[in-house]
Structure 1
Amino acid sequence: MHILLTGSSGWLGRFLAPRLRAAGHKVTGLDVAPGPDTDILGSVGDRNAVDRAFEQGIEAVIHAGALHKPDIVRYPPQAFIDINVTGTLNLLAAAKAAGHDRFVFTSTTSLMVSQTIRDESGEAAIWLDEASGPLVPRNIYGVTKLAAEGLCRLYAAEHGLSCVVLRTARFFPEDDDTHRMPSGENLKANEFLNRRLTVEDAADAHIVALERAPALGFETFILSAPTPFDRADASELKRDASAVIARYFPDAPMLYAKRGWTLPASLGRVYDWRHAERRLGFRCSTGFAEVLNALREGRAMPFAHDPSYLSPKEQIAT
């Protein structure tokens, strides 16, 4: 198929485009920033740019381009609406007009996190799956991504366009923009317990979603590394996460100590990955067990960590 990939110069796009070509697809990349996989410079919020892309004979869309949570300090709310909502509508309308049978949308688990969930004030870790709700996003990023999901649902229901929504957990390479302790690499390693996946796994999931979309119709999936925990662990995870981790991984405290790292003392929420395995047929290949294996063997971490990473759109803005 000839795939339109939005966000082709971004962190996910640079991993996804080569995988699409390796799977036998032709890729046309659309992004506001230049890059090796970007063929058309333009914004999804510009219907003319979208139309130019579709003139190339596009047969399916993977919509990975967006403004993200760190962009909140850089762009006004209207920009999030223009890109994340109007941009998605532009692509859906063009896909419908072209008679497409599949559309894959990159969403975020962030839209599931209300301020109450973020505050983690309860007595047990909150278990988040596709049935969790009501959804009350805490910022403009989450609000616009949830609205875009609604548009995908609408086009599936009213126009028969099969849409797969992938709510990805964290996979960015840079340091967290709100948490500084523990250090970036230590924090990322910890997050594989409950709220992170590798960018490679995120890209692979999009390939699977593209293939499976017509059989699924409309479906939403959480993408996160397989958590070792069970719902029955929720109270103890909030009270003493380190003890729970040591029960599942007895040598984890020693491996972390040798690296000078700290295990989380408390976990306030866990993303459940199981629906994606059951229904989509996808399971992340890298989880916390692989992180510990790298520590045991003295290898590099199986995830990307780049504190200096700056998105291509911000590179051209500076």
Structure 2
Amino acid sequence: MRILLTGSSGWLGRFLGPRLRAAGHAVTGLDIAPGLETDVLGSVADRGLIDRVFAEQGIEAVIHGGALHKPDIARYPPQHFIDVNMTGTLNLLEAATAAGHDRFVFTSTTSLMISDAIRRETADHAVWLDEESGPLSPRNIYGVTKLGAEGLCRLHHLEHGLACVVLRTARFFPEEDDTHHDLTGENMKANEFLNRRGTVEDMAEAHLRALERAPAIGFATYVVSAPTPFRREEAEELKRDAAAVITRHFPEAPALYAARGWRLPASIGRVYDAGLAERALGFRAKTDFAVVLAALKAGTALPFAHDPDYVSPKEVGGSAA
């Protein structure tokens, strides 16, 4: 298929583009910033540009990964989020519908599932988050606009029959966390494979699977994350004494962490459950916490990216329009 990949210069796009081509697809990358996977420079908010790309490239399917993200809140006003995350998504959906497409994959985020109460971890248990969680109350303009864009996808399926698969991706960014600094970056990322992280390679593979399955699915939303080792009945203990639960599942973890000078989490306040993606899409992330521990034990490279100096290509270019 001839696929339009938005956000092609971003962290996901630079992995997804080659994976799509390896699967036999012709890829047109669109981004506001130049990159190896980008063929067209411009914004998804520019409807004229979108229509030209569709016509000139004969686009047959869309994977929409371009967006403003949570760290961008400090850099751009709310209107930019509406223009890019909502109007941009609407532009692509309308163009795909007009072209008679049978599939559309939208990169969403688990962040929109995190209310202020969940973020502050006020519950006496780890909050279990899956596709049935709700009502959803996003805590910032990023989450609000991504949830709105999900609604546009659902509406285009209902009104026009466009098959849309929404992937709520867990954390997979390579840079340091922009709000938590109590652990080293690698230690924090390793911990998050227990409950809310995946690798960019796994995220790319999930998008390919969604692209293949979309026409048979129609419309669906899936949480995409490393599979958690925990069970729902462990939720209270995870909040009270996460290290004890982790050690029960992974007896070698405390010693492996100690050898590296790392700390296991004392408390876990939320758990992403990616089970539906495994059952419905046939997708299960290859990298999980057990794989991380295996790398620690073998003394090999960690199976995830960590780059404290990573800067979004759009920031290098200096524009989010």
TM-score (normalizing by structure 2): 0.98
User: Is 2:8 the counterpart of 1:8?
Assistant: yes
Shift of 1:227: 0.4
Whole-angstrom CA distance in 1 between matches of 2:52 and 2:9: 18
User: Is 2:140 the counterpart of 1:139?
Assistant: yes
Matched with 2:80 is 79
Listed one character per residue, the Cα deviations across residues 93-131 of structure 1 (whole Å, up to 9, x for unaligned) are 000000000000000000000001111011100000100
User: Is 2:166 the counterpart of 1:165?
Assistant: yes
Tell me the secondary structure at the aligned position of residue 122 of structure 1: coil
Any gaps of 5 or more consecutive residues in structure 2? none
8 Å contact 1:2–1:27 — kept in the other structure?
yes
Whole-angstrom CA distance in 1 between matches of 2:117 and 2:70: 18
User: Is 2:47 the counterpart of 1:47?
Assistant: yes
TM-score (normalizing by structure 1): 0.99
For structure 1, which segment, 47-56 or 11-20, has the greater mean C-alpha deviation from structure 2 after superposition?
47-56
Whole-angstrom CA distance in 2 between matches of 1:15 and 1:119: 33
Whole-angstrom CA distance in 1 between matches of 2:23 and 2:162: 22
Matched with 1:154 is 155
Percent identical among aligned pairs is 74
8 Å contact 1:129–1:271 — kept in the other structure?
yes
AA in 2 matched with 1:28: T
Whole-angstrom CA distance in 2 between matches of 1:151 and 1:121: 32
Shift of 1:47: 0.4
Whole-angstrom CA distance in 2 between matches of 1:97 and 1:80: 25
Matched with 1:126 is 127
Whole-angstrom CA distance in 1 between matches of 2:53 and 2:184: 42
Matched with 2:236 is 235
Shift of 1:140: 0.1
Shift of 1:15: 0.1
Shift of 1:239: 0.1
Tell me the secondary structure at the aligned position of residue 3 of structure 1: strand
Whole-angstrom CA distance in 1 between matches of 2:312 and 2:280: 33
Whole-angstrom CA distance in 1 between matches of 2:100 and 2:256: 54
Matched with 1:25 is 25
Shift of 1:206: 0.3
Whole-angstrom CA distance in 1 between matches of 2:98 and 2:123: 48
Whole-angstrom CA distance in 1 between matches of 2:233 and 2:290: 20
Tell me the secondary structure at the aligned position of residue 4 of structure 2: strand
Listed one character per residue, the Cα deviations across residues 61-102 of structure 1 (whole Å, up to 9, x for unaligned) are 000000000000000000000000000000000000000000
Whole-angstrom CA distance in 2 between matches of 1:92 and 1:176: 32
Tell me the secondary structure at the aligned position of residue 11 of structure 1: coil
Shift of 1:51: 1.2
Shift of 1:186: 0.2
User: Is 2:113 the counterpart of 1:112?
Assistant: yes
Matched with 2:99 is 98
- Give the 5 Å matches for 1:221-300: 221-300=222-301
Tell me the secondary structure at the aligned position of residue 221 of structure 2: strand
Shift of 1:280: 1.0
8 Å contact 1:63–1:106 — kept in the other structure?
yes
Whole-angstrom CA distance in 2 between matches of 1:178 and 1:53: 38
Task: List, as ranges, runs of 4+ consecutive aligned residues in structure 1 with deviation greater than 3 Å.
Answer: none
Matched with 1:175 is 176
Whole-angstrom CA distance in 2 between matches of 1:300 and 1:233: 31
AA in 1 matched with 2:16: L
For structure 1, which segment, 221-230 or 50-59, has the greater mean C-alpha deviation from structure 2 after superposition?
50-59
Matched with 1:200 is 201
Tell me the secondary structure at the aligned position of residue 190 of structure 1: helix
Shift of 1:181: 1.3
Tell me the secondary structure at the aligned position of residue 28 of structure 2: strand
Whole-angstrom CA distance in 2 between matches of 1:165 and 1:48: 25
Whole-angstrom CA distance in 1 between matches of 2:52 and 2:268: 47
Shift of 1:317: 1.4
Tell me the secondary structure at the aligned position of residue 30 of structure 2: strand
8 Å contact 1:30–1:53 — kept in the other structure?
no
AA in 1 matched with 2:20: L
